[in-house]
C-alpha cells in the first residue's frame, strides 16, 4: 500500500512542479526554490490575507525565487485542513498569474513531531514537499534537539518517507552537533533559516556546521510581507560562500537539491560529511 501511494505521489509532485515552472518566459538561468514558507493566507500564523501572500511573492520574485513551497504548520495549535490545501494553493497561484508575478506556489506542510503519529500515510503524502509522496518537512518538538527527533525520522523511514529537518538552530543543546550527525546518518537533510545564517548571533556557529557538511538546505521560513523575515534566500546563500567546502555547491543548496526534493527523488548532498545509512 505504501509503495503504491508513494508512486502516485511522485507522479503528482512531478506534474505539479512542471506546472509551476511552465509559466516562465524569457528564463535566462536557474532560479531559487524556497522549500519553507508560510505564504498561504489566513491559515496558520503566516500570511494574514491574500494581499499579504502577494506581497510575499513579490519579495520572492525580487530575490530570484520562482518556486515557493507553502508549508503551513501541521500541529495541534493550528486548525489546518489537509483537504483544503489544494484549493488554497490554487487561489494564490491564480492571483499571482493575474498580476503577472513570476512566482508559483507548490504544496507542502511543516509537520510538528507531535502530529506525526496521528497523521496517516495518505495525509502525509498530501503534505509532502511538492506533494511528491516522499519528502516531509519536520518541525522538531520544543526544547533541545534530542533522541525523539531521531526516532521520528526512523519511524517515518519505516513508513516510506524521508525527512527535511526544519530550523534545528532553534533547538540548541549540549548534544546538538551529535544529534545533527545522527539525523544525517539516518538519511535526514538539515535546513536552516536563510536570514539567520546571513547575519545575527547564530551565524558563526551555523557556518561552522556548514563547514562540517551539516547544513544542506536553506529556507526563508517567512510568515508575512509586513513583518519578520522576508521571503529571501540569496543573502544566506551568499554568506555560505564563505565556507570553502560549499563554494562548488551553492547552486545545489538553493536550486538543484530543492528541485530534486520536489520531484520526489532520493537526495544525498554531494558535500555531506556523514554518509546516510543505506
* pLDDT for the residue 79: 82
Residue tagged 538552530 (cell numbers): 169
* pLDDT band at 277; cut points 50, 70, 90: low
Could you tell me if residue 8 is inside a domain?
A: yes
The pTM of the full predicted model, rounded to 2 decimals, is 0.89
CATH code of the domain in which 229 resides: 3.20.20.140
Residue 51 domain-assigned (yes or no): yes
Given this model, what pLDDT does residue 272 score? 79
C-alpha cell belonging to residue 97? 498569474
Q: What is the mean pLDDT of the segment spanning 101-118?
A: 96
Alpha-carbon dihedral 271, 165, 217, 41, rounded to 10 degrees = 170
Determine, yes or no, domain membership for 274.
Answer: no
35 within domain boundaries: yes
pLDDT tens per residue, range 31-84: 899 999 999 998 888 999 999 999 999 999 999 999 999 999 998 887 888 989
Confidence of residue 26 (pLDDT cuts 50, 70, 90): very low
Whole-number pLDDT of residue 44: 87
Query: Taking CA 189 as the corner, what is the angle to CA 14 and CA 155, rounded to the nearest 5 degrees?
Result: 90
* Beta-carbon contacts of residue 56 (< 8 Å; ≥ 6 apart): 37, 39, 47, 68, 222, 224, 225, 230, 231
CA 224/CA 49 separation, integer angstroms? 9
- pLDDT tier at 3, thresholds 50, 70, 90: very low
Q: Is residue 150 included in any domain, yes or no?
A: yes
Task: Check whether 30 has a pLDDT greater than 70.
Answer: no
Of 213, 274, 276, 209, whose CA–CA distance to 249 is shortest?
213
Cross-strand bridge partners of residue 104: 67
Average pLDDT, the chain: 89
What's the number of domains the chain is made of? 1
203 found inside a domain:
yes
**pLDDT confidence of residue 24:** 39
Among candidates 205, 202, 180, 182, which has minimal Cα distance to 191?
Answer: 180
101: left (phi over 0), alpha (psi -120 to 50) or beta: beta
Number of H helices, E strands in the chain: 12, 9
| Residue range(s) defining the domain that contains residue 126 | 2-22+30-262
In terms of Cα–Cα distance, which of 161, 153, 146, 139 is closest to 221?
Answer: 139
Asked whether residue 276 is domain-assigned, the answer is no
Q: What is the pLDDT of residue 37?
A: 98
Task: Please report the pLDDT score of residue 80 as a whole number.
Answer: 84
SS3 state of residue 69: strand
Q: Residue 107: its pLDDT value, please?
A: 95
**Lowest-pLDDT range, 7-16, 93-102, 141-150?**
7-16
Reported confidence tier of residue 20, pLDDT bands at 50, 70, 90: very low
Q: How confident is the model at residue 276 (pLDDT cuts 50, 70, 90)?
A: low
Whether residue 66 is contained in a domain is answered as yes
Residue 22: pLDDT over 50 = no
The pLDDT of residue 8 is above 70 = no
Mean pLDDT on 103-120: 96
How far, CA to CA in Å, does 219 sit from each of 14, 37, 53, 153, 203?
21, 7, 17, 20, 15
CB-count burial class (<10 Å; 0-12, 13-18, 19+) for 2: middle
Region 91-106 average pLDDT: 97
Q: Kindly state the average pLDDT of the residues 82-110.
A: 96
pLDDT tens for residues 193-214? 999 999 989 999 999 999 999 9
The percent of residues in the chain predicted with pLDDT above 90, rounded, is: 79
* pLDDT number for residue 65: 97
* Arithmetic mean of pLDDT, 244-256: 96
Amino acid at each position: 500500500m505504501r509503495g503504491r501511494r508513494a508512486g502516485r505521489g511522485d507522479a503528482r509532485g512531478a506534474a505539479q512542479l512542471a506546472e509551476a515552472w511552465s509559466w516562465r518566459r524569457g528564463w535566462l538561468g536557474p532560479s531559487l526554490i524556497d522549500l519553507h514558507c508560510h505564504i498561504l493566507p489566513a491559515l496558520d500564523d503566516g500570511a494574514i490575507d491574500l494581499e499579504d501572500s502577494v506581497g510575499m511573492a513579490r519579495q520572492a520574485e525580487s530575490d530570484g525565487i520562482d518556486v515557493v513551497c507553502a508549508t503551513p504548520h501541521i500541529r495541534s495549535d493550528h486548525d489546518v485542513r489537509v483537504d483544503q490545501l489544494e484549493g488554497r494553493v490554487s487561489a494564490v497561484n491564480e492571483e499571482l498569474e493575474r498580476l503577472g508575478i513570476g512566482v508559483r506556489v507548490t504544496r507542502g506542510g511543516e509537520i510538528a513531531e507531535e502530529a506525526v503519529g496521528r497523521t496517516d500515510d495518505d495525509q502525509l503524502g498530501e503534505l509532502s514537499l511538492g506533494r511528491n509522496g516522499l519528502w516531509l518537512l519536520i518541525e522538531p518538538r520544543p526544547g533541545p534537539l534530542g533522541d525523539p527527533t531521531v526516532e521520528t525520522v526512523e519511524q517515518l523511514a519505516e513508513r516510506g518517507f524521508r525527512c527535511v529537518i526544519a530550523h534545528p538552530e532553534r533547538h540548541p543543546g549540549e548534544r546538538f552537533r551529535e544529534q545533527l550527525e545522527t539525523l544525517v546518518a539516518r538519511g535526514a537533510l538539515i535546513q536552516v533559516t536563510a536570514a539567520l545564517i546571513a547575519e545575527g548571533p547564530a551565524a558563526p556557529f551555523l557556518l561552522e556546521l556548514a563547514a562540517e557538511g551539516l547544513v544542506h538546505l536553506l529556507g526563508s521560513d517567512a510568515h508575512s510581507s509586513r513583518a519578520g523575515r522576508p521571503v529571501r534566500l540569496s543573502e544566506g546563500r551568499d554568506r555560505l560562500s564563505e565556507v570553502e567546502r560549499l563554494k562548488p555547491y551553492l547552486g545545489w543548496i538553493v536550486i538543484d537539491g530543492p528541485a530534486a526534493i520536489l520531484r520526489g527523488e532520493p537526495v544525498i548532498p554531494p558535500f555531506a560529511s556523514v554518509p546516510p545509512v543505506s
